[in-house]
Amino acid sequence: MSHYFVIGDVHGKAGMLEALLQHWNGEDQLIFLGDVIDRGENGRAVLERVKSLVEQTKAICLSGNHEYMFLAWLDDPYHRYDHYRRNGGDTTINSLLRRPLDAPVDGIEDAKRVMEEAGDLVDFIRQMPFHVETEELIFVHAGLDLTLDNWQDTTDYQKVWLREPFYKVENKTGKGIVFGHTPTSYLTGEPMESPKLWQTPDGKIGMDGGAVYGGVLHGILFKNGKIVAHYAIPNDRFIVSDS
């Protein structure tokens, strides 16, 4: 399949995700770039929706650094909870446990409860791939280490955390690289609510619209490696710009 509908960092914004999915035809290959959880208020609803799409339509959901942190917390709650909390994890924990978002969290006891009460969603996160490569494009959450002789030597950790060693280095892969992680406003200098993508002459396309920060949720339809439609969902409205 050479048609891909790609969705940027959702971060628990279930309403914005549903609005964006109205523009997907149900047939083109759906790809999520990771960071579907944390900070936003409906992490459980988003995870359940994405899991359903993966199971029923063969959608692909990549791991982002927030899924990476979530699993690191579950695997070592004593040492990893504070880091996860500082990155918006409490909202996801409370959402998964169906509690008020401001409920107090016990980083160790709640790790056990999440494993017991949302084990299917934990298993779903554990199987998320870290990149997808097609004939024309590479999809990844944060980026690739383009200083390496072979980009495929990029570690999974780097694929979900990289910033400057990716977007400040020339892309010599011969393919477009579509990524999220770094809000486009940081790269373009535009206001957070701007619907503008970050695109470079060497084929990098940044599409984390900062949805959870008052920005937008980006969706891009690619055909044969080219952008043919772009949707940006801000605050339950949408802007359409064809490219």
Quote the pLDDT of residue 165: 87
Residue 239 has pLDDT above 90, yes or no: no
* Range list of H helices, the chain: 14-21, 43-57, 65-75, 77-86, 89-96, 109-117, 119-126, 156-161, 164-167, 184-188
pLDDT at residue number 221? 98
Q: What is the mean pLDDT of the chain?
A: 95
CATH 3.30.1490.20 matches 3-234: no
Q: Is the per-residue pLDDT at 162 higher than 80?
A: yes
On whether the CB atoms of residues 12 and 39 are closer than 8 A, the answer is: yes
Question: Tell me, what amino acid is at 181?
Answer: H
pLDDT of residue 237: 42
**What's the confidence (pLDDT) of residue 1?**
59
When pLDDT is averaged across residues 123-135 and rounded to a whole number, the result is 98
The pLDDT of residue 2? 82
Q: What average pLDDT score do residues 114-128 get?
A: 98
Kindly tell me if the per-residue pLDDT of 113 is higher than 60.
yes
pLDDT confidence of residue 193 = 92
**pLDDT for res 234:** 87
Q: Is the per-residue pLDDT at 240 higher than 60?
A: no
pLDDT at 231: 98
Per the CB < 8 A criterion, the answer to whether 160 and 65 are in contact is yes
* Res 236: pLDDT: 54
Please indicate whether residue 20 or residue 242 has the higher confidence score (pLDDT): 20
Burial of 154 (0-12, 13-18, 19+ CB in 10 A): buried
The stretch 109-117 carries a mean pLDDT of: 98
pLDDT tens sequence across 168-200: 999 999 999 999 999 999 999 999 999 999 999
| pLDDT bracket for residue 238 (50, 70, 90) | very low
Enter the tokens of residue 206: 């940044």
Residue 243 has pLDDT above 90, yes or no: no
